[in-house]
Amino acid sequence: MNHTQPGEGHPSTMCLRPLDRIEALIQKAKKRDLETGQLNRILEQRARHLHSAIKLPREQAAAALRDFVVRYIEHVPDFIQAIDDITREAGIDDRVEPLLNIACDYFLSPPELVSSHSQLVAMLDESYLAHRLLEEVNDRFIAYCGIPLAPMDLTRANVIAHELIGEPFANELDQAVLFSAELLLNEYSFNSKNFQRYVAQHRDRGWSEELRRWPCLAADLAIDLRFSS
């Protein structure tokens, strides 16, 4: 994939991120799953035990869940690409690259705790790690400077994915994400002039341009989710 060079003109410090490899793995897993039907069988079982706040269609509930899972997985490389482009153009990519690399590594070198799974089932776990990392980073950026790193709201989709993965395993994945986010965000400073300009710019004009250029950031992945008071 082609990447826009940083706004300040400094050379990239990282080799081209292998998003094409991740996309190829996803396509291979989708093809294999169509042959085996493994994901459908698992989702048919889990559809009967989901939290009552997750409203599935009366007909084809497992098919609706499968559509959600596939889109949830496919959006990971899209989100990484969009954040990479946005931060490179702003000249703050050197601070964000380590976080995006971790998200990529969840697919390319998955941690041992997901190694017992296979294909799309494993990719749900890997995608949850990546999406939760991006959600955690956004939350910490909001707490730090009042804006997210990128205009994406993964909370609702991640709640559904957490439910599909199931406890206590999903909680273990959450702990792995928190460890990674804490380690990286404590190591890097976000006080550069480029970062301050990035924050000021988006406080003033919002995110309409980014949402127009990267519609994946505003994509609604959620099956209907209604939390009663």
pLDDT category at 177 given cuts 50, 70, 90 is very high
54 has which bridge partners?
225
The total domain count for the chain is 1
Average pLDDT over residues 52-68: 88
Q: Is the pLDDT of residue 77 over 80?
A: yes
pLDDT category at 9 given cuts 50, 70, 90 is very low
User: Is residue 179 situated within a structural domain?
Assistant: yes
Instruction: Say what percent of the chain tops pLDDT 90.
Output: 48
Average pLDDT over residues 16-21: 77
User: Is residue 191 situated within a structural domain?
Assistant: yes
pLDDT at residue 94, rounded to an integer: 85
pLDDT at residue 12, rounded to an integer: 41
pLDDT at residue 112, rounded to an integer: 80
Average pLDDT over residues 108-124: 78
pLDDT at residue 209, rounded to an integer: 92
pLDDT category at 11 given cuts 50, 70, 90 is very low
Q: Is the pLDDT of residue 13 over 70?
A: no
Q: Which residue range forms the structural domain that includes residue 53?
A: 28-218
How far apart, in whole angstroms, are the C-alpha atoms of residue 136 and residue 179?
11
User: Is residue 226 situated within a structural domain?
Assistant: no
State the pTM of this model. Answer: 0.88
User: Is residue 17 situated within a structural domain?
Assistant: no
Question: Mean pLDDT over all residues of the chain?
Answer: 85
Q: Is the pLDDT of residue 16 over 60?
A: no
User: Is residue 166 situated within a structural domain?
Assistant: yes
pLDDT at residue 229, rounded to an integer: 52
Q: Is the pLDDT of residue 38 over 70?
A: yes
Average pLDDT over residues 13-28: 77
User: Is residue 170 situated within a structural domain?
Assistant: yes
Phi, psi of 126 (to 5 degrees): -65, -40
pLDDT category at 4 given cuts 50, 70, 90 is very low
User: Is residue 5 situated within a structural domain?
Assistant: no
User: Is residue 8 situated within a structural domain?
Assistant: no
